A and B are shown apart, each in its own frame.
Chain A
Amino acid sequence: MVVRVQEADFEVGTELAALRRDDPQIGALTAFVGLVREMNEGAGVSEMTLEHYPGMTERALQEIVGEACRRWAVLDALVIHRVGRLLPTEQIVLVAVVGVHRGETFAACQFIIDTLKTRAPFWKREVTPAGGRWVDARAADDQAAERWQE
């Protein structure tokens, strides 16, 4: 179970290989990569800056991944989230889960990204032709996280 918050980009293939470690028990790997879009709320986005709460961010991610590993029979999970300045098409976040079967890895991966979006202390500030603006939390994200509540 690895959680990393970093400015540097990540290489998905390298990260997934490290997560698998050629473990022959693993029959399924689900990965999600979040990317910077060129449009948001009807405006062009030329760049984005991600701020976070050092310390709490890592704790929150550990808790979310730990909860996923308890709820579903998975073997391991990984979250890498970038901070700092990012441009359209750049990678923001990688969530990956390995397990014996795909049902559990799909569910755990979706739970982690949905929960991260409402519980991990990151904030996006984007630059549009009208200037800089903080991205508003989306009701759809709250709903996506709520459906996982037991």
Chain B
Amino acid sequence: MSRWRDFDIKGGQLKILYFASLREALGCGGEDVALPAGVADIAGLMAFLAARDEKWQVLRTRRNLRYAVNQEMARLDTPVAADDEVAFFPPVTGG
């Protein structure tokens, strides 16, 4: 508990998850990222990640990318805050 409180004081972390073909393209299933200053929504987070690393440009170029915040489907203008769980993935194909 105390460790998480320390994170809060520092501005908090985001847990980011990548699934399916996106996970394969990035070679990464997820990461913890300190909430970047000025990032307030999904669009801002995508811009930050894409600018951080060339490989993450796929977030901007991939068609029909889907996102979720705290396990609910989200939109580009959905707010993102400290301690949120954010996921990026291709359109779903279950059933």
* A interface residue numbers (CB < 8 A to B): 34, 50-53, 55-56, 59-60, 81, 92-93, 113, 116-125, 134-138, 141
Contact = CB atoms under 8 A, between A and B. Distances in A.
A141 to B, nearest CB: 8
Interface residues of B, number: 18
B90 A118 contact: no
Contacts, number: 75
A136 B62 CA distance: 13
The interface residues of chain A, by DSSP majority, are classed as mixed
Nearest to B66: A121
A123 B69 CA distance: 18
A92 B71 CA distance: 23
Nearest to A123: B20
Given A53-B19, A59-B71, A134-B20, A116 B90 contact: no
Given A92-B94, A120-B95, A138-B93, 10 more contacts: A56-B68, A60-B71, A92-B95, A93-B94, A120-B92, A121-B94, A122-B94, A134-B90, A137-B90, A137-B92
Task: Return the 6 tightest CB-CB contacts between A and B, nearest first.
Answer: A122-B94, A137-B91, A123-B20, A56-B71, A117-B95, A134-B21
A124 B94 contact: yes
Nearest to B89: A121
A34 B92 contact: no
A130 to B, nearest CB: 16
A51 B19 contact: yes
Given A55-B71, A56-B68, A59-B71, A120 B94 contact: yes
B94 A50 contact: yes
B78 to A, nearest CB: 14
A123 B24 CA distance: 13
A124 B87 contact: no
B64 interface: yes
Find the residue from B17, B68, B93 having the highest chain A CB count within 10 A.
B93
B95 A122 contact: yes
Interface in B34-93: 64, 68, 71-73, 87, 89-93
A60 B95 CA distance: 13
A93 B71 contact: no
